[in-house]
A = this chain, B = another copy of it.
Amino acid sequence: MHRFVPATLLLFLHLEHPVSRVFPEDSVGLVQPELAHFKEPLALACGRQLDEYELVYETYGTLNDSRSNAILICHALSGHHHAAGYHSESDRKPGWWEACIGPGKPIDTNRFFVVSLNNLGGCNGSTGPASLNPATGRLYGADFPMVTVQDWVHSQARLADRLGIEQWAAVVGGSLGGMQAMQWSIEYPERLRHCVAIAAAPRLSAQNIAFNEVARQAIISDPDFHDGHFLAHNNIPKRGLKLARMVGHITYLSDDAMGQKFGRERKSEQLNFDLSSVEFQVESYLRYQGEEFSTRFDANTYLLMTKALDYFDPAAAHGGDLAKTFAAASASFYLISFTTDWRFSPERSQEVVNALIAADKQVSYVDIDAPHGHDAFLIPHPRYLQAFSSYMNRIEI
């Protein structure tokens, strides 16, 4: 709930002396990112290694004395460490998971100590393609190694070590973040008590890979990509990144949600019958989304993230048997899917649920009837918040 302050009073206070901004009561409020530098080399799945690297992260809430209330948040394709709260008093936009993290929210910061980081290869402060390569003194660009979900989990474990967290109360993530949560349960069974994977999948389908490939080809074939060394050319492959985001964005929304939001609504009453005009609102919306994204996201990071998605397939090491893959896991699992998600449909979560049941693991699952498609995991839909809270509130700390 927002603390309600009459406008006249605010004006008065403003005239008297500078006033602290009043953030919503259920927000973690002002937050600051922190930086962890790691000098121990990290061996990567691709066979290469990072000699040293930095991870940017934020924390919300307070670590209890027994260090048993820590939650790790793993982000999705275009996410980052800033999951909740505001970076300044004038910051208008809160973190990307403000709907779910804060006092009284599903990830309740009155109970939990929340850690949220930007993954390796990212473009929001952790070491990635836009960082300086200490070995060459130049920007990594295309030379940044391919990183996988497994690599991320390894680097997240080191961050946990640094923060003195031996065991997470839960590792939580949506979409690609949910894949990291699952990988944690396989990789470090003893280091998490709960694994919460929302709108995730045990591996990409051919169609998922196909959409990623279109996005990658859009970026790579942009003449401004310069084989990935565009920053060194003082350039960005804006056209390609815009297209990549446009096609991605379609897969995040349901057909219904797009229909309800835009339908065939026109920009103007008369049709223009030309290519330069925008005829339908949905075209305008998509162009805006693509444009905005292309100015703030690194194209090499986008490529790396889509490849990490493609490569994720923990069952591959077990002959495709997902139940065997989870054999050593000891966490309790919670899976959430959304009825209208066609990127990672409910059936994909159910594959995981069925494997966990076959592996005799503790698992809860809910399929939320929500109209928003894949993006539903970011949206404060009442049923979702209730189902999410109900599980999180039962986690003992």
Most interface-central of A45, A205, A274 (chain B CB within 10 A): A205
Counting CB contacts under 8 A, is A67 at the interface?
no
Flag the segment in A183-191, A254-262, A360-368 that touches B.
Answer: A254-262
In whole Å, how far is A41's beta carbon from the nearest beta carbon of chain B?
Answer: 17
Among B206, B221, B283, B311, contact of A239 (Cβ-Cβ < 8 Å): B221
B275–A213 CB distance below 8 A: no
B261–A206 CB distance below 8 A: yes
Counting CB contacts under 8 A, is A49 at the interface?
no
Closest residue of B by beta carbon distance from A228: B275
Among B45, B214, B221, B283, contact of A210 (Cβ-Cβ < 8 Å): B283
In whole Å, how far is A369's beta carbon from the nearest beta carbon of chain B?
Answer: 18
Counting CB contacts under 8 A, is A282 at the interface?
yes
The answer to whether A273 and B146 touch (CB under 8 A), given A203-B264, A286-B214, is: yes
In whole Å, how far is A24's beta carbon from the nearest beta carbon of chain B?
Answer: 32
Counting CB contacts under 8 A, is A120 at the interface?
no
Residues of B within 8 A of A247 (CB): 211, 214, 247
Residues of B within 8 A of A223 (CB): 223
Among B213, B258, B274, contact of A246 (Cβ-Cβ < 8 Å): B213
A275–B206 CB distance below 8 A: no
In whole Å, how far is A279's beta carbon from the nearest beta carbon of chain B?
Answer: 7
B259–A207 CB distance below 8 A: yes
Closest residue of B by beta carbon distance from A304: B275
A214–B142 CB distance below 8 A: no
Bound Cα distance A275, B203 (Å): 19
Among B204, B255, B307, contact of A205 (Cβ-Cβ < 8 Å): B255
B255–A207 CB distance below 8 A: yes
Residues of B within 8 A of A239 (CB): 221-222
Bound Cα distance A317, B45 (Å): 59
Taking beta carbons and an 8 Å cutoff, which residues of A are in contact with B? 45-47, 142, 145-146, 203-207, 209-211, 213-214, 216-218, 220-223, 228, 239, 242-243, 246-247, 250, 253, 255, 258-259, 261-264, 271, 273-275, 279-280, 282-283, 286-287, 290, 303, 307, 310-311, 313, 342
20 intermolecular pairs with C-beta atoms under 8 Å apart: A45-B273, A46-B273, A203-B264, A204-B264, A207-B253, A207-B255, A209-B264, A209-B280, A209-B282, A210-B258, A211-B247, A214-B286, A217-B243, A217-B246, A217-B290, A218-B243, A222-B239, A228-B275, A271-B311, A279-B311
